[in-house]
Amino acid sequence: MIRVGIVGGTGYTGAELLRLLARHPRVTLSAITSRGEAGLAVADLFPHLRGRVDLAFTEPDPGRLGECDLVFFATPNGTAMKMAPALLDRGVKLIDLAADFRLKDPKVWEHWYDMPHACPELLAEAVYGLPEIHREAIRSARLIANPGCYPTAVTLGFLPLLEQGLVDPDWLVADVKSGVSGAGRKASVGMLMAEVGESFKAYGVGGHRHQPEIAQNLASVLGTDLRLTFVPHLLPMIRGIEATLYARLGEPGYDLQDLYRTRYHDEPFVDVMPAGACPDTRSVRGSNYCRIAVTEPLGQGIAVVQSVIDNLVKGAAGQAIQNMNLMFAFEETLALEDLALLP
């Protein structure tokens, strides 16, 4: 058994971590922090955890967190980097579900997140926690930068094409849609039902902070710079991300179905759909799966990839637990094999 703490347990990501970890046979939940809800029983805030989680929220005490084997940070950007050095010095392994350690260049971080990085010396050490690319590095890591939800869907969708050098790196387009839970649990007029219901819009068209994360991932696979157009959209649904990706093929007529099926054959949480199928977000709702379909419409030299995930599971908490399982030599799929919810 390992002792696990969660810093920031009251948001949607924290709640999802609790839901999944409460059923993990190798985990003991030792601390769940919240400055605003300290003293409140977890089950009083999240009734769905009654009988499964008997802890109360506490202030983020470094001493108590330092007794854990692993600490998850389900906190706003800029929080984990302030606490990470001290916890690492005490031998605690860390998984940050925010963006503090995702970007390797501190100047890029400062540009997109409007704050100086508190511990840039850790950026080179942090392992980007996408198991489908960095599985072996994750096994030996002590600090994991858990990927963002948009970058997970987009990277997994483009990955086989870029690994084989089949597409023009100067012409990549990611048209991506997300449910409102991706914006977090904070109160916001823009997230009210009357604002998002029966509507659909793009946002961050002029530049979104997940764009440099996606570009960094794809460039590391390709080994060179690339040009990516990334446009996120907000959908009037709670969970889910659908990424429709476009890339110009250098060799039209390539067997893309076989390429994707071969690349992901041994990946426990990537499901390549049969030719002609189109995955929908409800097919992954509540699960840690990424479902992918690929085609070349009309044989005209453009690859179209569809990639769907649950933004709170494979896009956040589930992937974090997948990383934890690898770090502690547990079965990678432990506590993550639930099927999607339907309807």
- Residues tagged active-site: 149
Name the one residue in this structure whose structure tokens are 């980007």: 128
- In a 10 Å sphere around its CB, with 0-12 CB exposed, 13-18 middle and 19+ buried, how is residue 254 labelled? middle
Structure tokens at 143: 């600090």
Structure tokens at 170: 């100067």
Residue-wise burial string across 114-135, b where 16 or more C-beta atoms lie within 10 A, e elsewhere: eeebbbeebbeebbbbbbbbbe
> Do the beta carbons of residue 176 and residue 232 sit within 8 Å?
yes
Q: What is the dihedral angle through the alpha carbons of 175, 323, 11, 7, rounded to the nearest 10 degrees? A: -140
